[in-house]
């Protein structure tokens, strides 16, 4: 009986360690990546802990009109943001805001976002599964 209890406790401990490790991996999704090396960001933005729930709210307010499943089915040139790497999406938003990447619509959208909001949006989309647009 004690042996069964010990095994259950060990299994639970290992599960918590695995969860802790995966959370830590997500925490560093924006740090020391090739996508962000040349951006020269403020340390407050780099150290900001992205929040997927804030990102979801912002995405539903700002991004979904063009990058939602309904529009992506009609406009094949608009990219599906779901499942993209957070650092990549964040860099694209920063580049649009700074004018290093040109698209009037995206530059307008990015100009209204702070770097922490950009991180929230990028992190939210990175946690999503890519849409099946082959229909």
Tens digit of pLDDT for each residue in 75-105? 888 999 999 999 999 999 999 999 999 999 9
The pLDDT of residue 31: 62
Half-sphere exposure of 71 (CA within 13 A, CB side): 11
Contact 81, 67 (CB under 8 A): yes
Q: How many Å apart are CA 72 and CA 49, to the nearest integer?
A: 29
The pLDDT of residue 43: 76
Contact 108, 96 (CB under 8 A): no
The pLDDT of residue 63: 96
Q: How many Å apart are CA 123 and CA 56, to the nearest integer?
A: 9
Contact 89, 128 (CB under 8 A): no
Q: Which residues of the chain have pLDDT under 50?
A: 9-10, 13-27
Neighbours of 12 (CB within 10 A): 10
| pTM, entire model | 0.72
């Amino acid at each position: 009986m004690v042996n069964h209890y010990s095994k259950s406790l060990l299994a639970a401990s290992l599960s918590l360690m695995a969860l802790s490790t995966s959370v830590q991996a997500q925490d560093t999704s924006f740090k020391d990546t090739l996508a962000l090396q040349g951006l020269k960001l403020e340390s407050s933005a780099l150290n900001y802990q992205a929040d997927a729930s804030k990102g979801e709210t912002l995405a539903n307010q700002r991004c979904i009109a063009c990058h939602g499943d309904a529009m992506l089915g009609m406009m094949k040139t608009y990219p599906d943001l779901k499942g993209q790497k957070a650092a990549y999406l964040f860099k694209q938003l920063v580049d649009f805001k700074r004018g290093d990447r040109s698209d009037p619509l995206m530059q307008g959208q990015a100009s209204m976002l702070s770097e922490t909001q950009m991180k929230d949006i990028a992190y939210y989309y990175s946690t999503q599964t890519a849409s099946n647009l082959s229909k």
